[in-house]
Amino acid sequence: MDSDEHNGDHDFEIGDLVTETHYIIPPDRKSWIGIVVYFKKEHYELHSFLGQYEDLIGVMWFQTGHIETLPASVLEIVQKVNKKKEKNS
């Protein structure tokens, strides 16, 4: 993984469905699906000399029910949360 993969283009929101990137899945299991339950913007400072930051994402995995915190770059969005449209009064 190089610094270009930590570009901050991840736009996770609470309620998004996510999965793990292939390179963090142990060889003895399939990828998990989870839901984003919280996030913290710019939590990780990746390369201090470049000034890049990465979000911390809290995911509750459906397969285990556990909540795990991971850097945004090791997650992929499966489906974005649907936002309700406001009615014009």
Q: What is the pLDDT of residues 23-36, one digit of tens each?
A: 999 999 999 999 99
**Cβ neighbours of residue 74 under 8 Å, at least 6 residues apart?**
20, 21, 23, 24
60 contacts 66 by C-beta, under 8 angstroms: yes
User: Which range marks the domain in which residue 27 is found?
Assistant: 3-79
Q: What are phi and psi of 2, to 5 degrees?
A: -110, 180
Is residue 85 one of the residues assigned to a domain? no
Is residue 86 one of the residues assigned to a domain? no
Task: Tell me the per-residue pLDDT of 26-76, one tens digit each, with 9 for 90 and over.
Answer: 999 999 999 999 998 877 666 656 567 788 999 999 999 999 999 998 999
CATH number at residue 54: 2.30.30.140
DSSP per position, 2-48: -GGGGSS-----TT-EEEE-GGGS-TTSPPPEEEEEEEEEEEEEEET
